[in-house]
Amino acid sequence: MNRVVNKNRIIGERIGNKPGPLMIVFAQIHGNEPAGYKAVGELFKAIDLEYLKNPNFEFCGRIVALQGNMKAAQAGVRYIKKDLNRSWLPKEIDRIRKTKAIESLDPEDQEIKENLDLIDTYIDLCQPPRVVVLDLHTTTAHGGLFTIPSQNPEARRIGLSMHAPVLHGFLDGLKGTTLHYFSQENFEVDINAVCFEAGQHQSEDSYKHAVSAIIQCFKSIDGFYAKDIEIKHDQLLEERSKGLPLEAKLVYVHRVEPSDHFRMTDTKIYNNFDPIAEGEILAYDKNGPIKSPYGGLILMPLYQKQGDDGFFIIQEITARSKEEEYKGSMASKLS
């Protein structure tokens, strides 16, 4: 085997005292999204503190946090040559896996190789009953967090446990995301992937949302015990998702090419989940105004230079119930 094990990529890891799931948390698959990196640091601090505070604290399995795109993170950009979250294409990955000289690969392909080699090594080492990949992101737009699960009922269940709106249909409109790749087709172990969008890139709240989401995710796959988890994580995510759909589906993606000279309109700054009407002028490009082809809610309007997607339009499929109840005991809990 010809694996490249770059330990610098490992932001941290914690091992429970019983066998259990392996959760891989990706931070900075997009280099300009540092909230996930900060969140995993905070999570590991909280776990260490919990061992001191609570003699009965224990958990199952292993949490490993990886820095997705190290080169882009170093440079403070979304990516160096190509979007890492559009580059997990099975054919390409075959080629990347077979390449022995890592320096001969493009920057993002090197990132993929190192990430995969580490993940393969962890799977061999832990022989986990299951693997969940939680991919942490933030958006340029303000307003609202959300979760995108891979297309299966278990990933949806994990997504719902994080309380933010769960969005469906994104995988059809995109190719080569981590959600596409970390699926049953490509691995022999039971594997699921969920992407969590924690808020705006620079917002101080984003990393806090991500900490709570990681905890909820690991609890939902029987890593953490519910008795050890403070209710505040449910509450924070619930509270930030108030008024947003419980589940929604993608109805439209506006793709852009650099030569389009795409720019969002400046008469209004759109936030995630802002309602939009059919025919509303959302943006401009070289051909003039771009009108919304549907009514619904706007998501991820492009307010940065790098990116292939101008904006997304979603429509609610399940409304959020107003009487969400929080369940949990008052014992000492992971805070």
Give the nearest distance from C-beta 193 to Zn ion in angstroms: 14
All residues at 6 or more sequence positions from 42 whose CB lies less than 8 Å from its CB, including other chains: 207, 208, 211
Nearest to 194 by CA among 172, 168, 231: 168
Restricted to residues 18-57, the positions that interact with Zn ion (CB under 5 A) are 30, 33
- Of 238, 281, 284, the C-alpha closest to 261 is 284
Of residues 60 and 214, the one with the C-beta less far from Zn ion: 214
Q: Which is nearer to Zn ion, 33 or 109 (CB)?
A: 33
**Least separation, in Å, of the C-beta of 29 and Zn ion?**
6
Token readout for 216 is: 């909820």
The piece of 12-20, 134-142, 145-153, 313-321 that touches Zn ion (CB under 5 A) is 134-142
Q: Does 86 bind Zn ion (CB under 5 A)?
A: no
Q: Under the criterion CB under 5 A, does residue 137 sit at the interface with Zn ion?
A: yes
Helix and strand element counts for the chain (H, E): 9, 14
Binders of Zn ion among residues 249 to 288 (CB under 5 A) are none
| DSSP symbol at 108 | H
Taking the least distance from each CB to Zn ion, the nearer of 22 and 84 is: 84
- Residue 307 or 328 having the CB closest to Zn ion: 307
Position 45: which residue type? K
Range in contact with Zn ion (rule: CB under 5 A) among 117-125, 131-139, 202-210, 260-268: 131-139
Of 138 and 183, which CB lies nearer to Zn ion in the complex structure? 138
For residue 156, what are the CA distances in angstroms to 151, 194, 276?
7, 8, 26
Q: What is the dihedral of CA 279, 282, 286, 287, to 10 degrees?
A: 0
The footprint of Zn ion (CB under 5 A) covers: 30, 33, 137
